[in-house]
A = this chain, B = another copy of it.
Amino acid sequence: MKSREIRLTQHFTGPVKSDYFELSETDLPEPAEGEVVVRNAWLSVDPYMRGRMIGVKTYIDPFEVGAPLEGGAVGQVVQSKADGFAEGDWVMSMKGWREGYVAAADSLTKIDASVLPPEAYLGVAGLTGMTAYIGLKRIIELKAGETLWMSAAAGAVGSAGVQFAKAMGANVIATAGGQEKTDFCTEIGADAVVDYKATDDLAGAVRAAAEPFGGVDAYFENVGGDHLQAALDVIKPHGRMAVCGMIARYNDDTPLPGPTNLTQIIAKKLKVQGFILSDHFDLQGEFIKDLSDWMMAGKVKTRDTVYDGIEQTPDAFMGLFTGANIGKMLVKL
């Protein structure tokens, strides 16, 4: 079986360009004992991948130049030499950015495509959804009746977080850019929505939106830059900020200065905490339980932005930084 895959051509800082990716074809080897051959059906592209393209070790090793990139993927077994894995079984892996692969069966996670569509395991029911859950549950410790400001609220993590926060009994102020995205935020239940592209005064607009709810108790940071400045300005004393991402900063050629109002951390006694999903897998059982309850109760809607074909994977990835996605950004093979 042949498989096309996307390889990284060089490490880089600054804006992502298509030159940094190349499409190659490879022959998959025959599976050995205990291995399976998988054809991927859906690939995930995620902002955190940008950090692995710089070539510096952070919390995770950089991608290797010349090798296929890695990322979340779901696919079906097409040939099995492993007990318990049959042709047609759905599996989730980190072997994305490629059409197919051969791997040890015990490195894969079987998923049940009769419960949820398989691509949901890359989104709300997967790492994306669990990231939103951890941020709300463990970092912010969101309580019913509190008011959350969710940034990038029409994005993958953001839109999951808006709905989880509502299900947890909180009020949600959503910010997003453009009419289509703000409409989506309303559709998924945000109590108030601010289009950050339509205002010169983000802090003022969020403050006004949150006023009927008594102000902002907690902020979920996906953006950075002017959003963080506004959040420090707006958030109430003893506020908590879960710092999940700063997508506005990832493509800077040279690092840009931070907010001018960091002394608010003292004046307001804020807790500002970064987190990464892999530190919190102990909450997975609780996440699955809560998510099932919320889905059964019809509290969680999903929407994906889908690109077609392996060759579009770099475009899908680059689209994350221009705001091309509503909900989860996926590539369908």
Contact = CB atoms under 8 A, between A and B. Distances in A.
A274 B279 contact: no
Nearest to A267: B58
Contacts of A263: 224, 246, 249-250
A231 interface: no
Interface residues of A, number: 37
A51 interface: yes
A266 B243 contact: yes
Interface of A: 51, 58-59, 224, 228, 237-238, 243-246, 249-250, 254-276, 279
A246 B273 contact: no
A264 B244 CA distance: 11
A258 B256 contact: no
Contacts of A258: 257-260, 262
Contacts of A269: 59, 273-276, 279
Contacts of A267: 51, 58-59, 274
A58 B236 CA distance: 11
A257 B259 CA distance: 5
A266 B51 CA distance: 11
Nearest to A239: B274
Contact of A266 (B238, B254, B276): B276
A260 B224 CA distance: 11
Instruction: List the 6 shortest-distance A-B pairs measured between CB atoms, nearest first.
Output: A257-B257, A258-B258, A255-B260, A265-B274, A266-B274, A272-B272
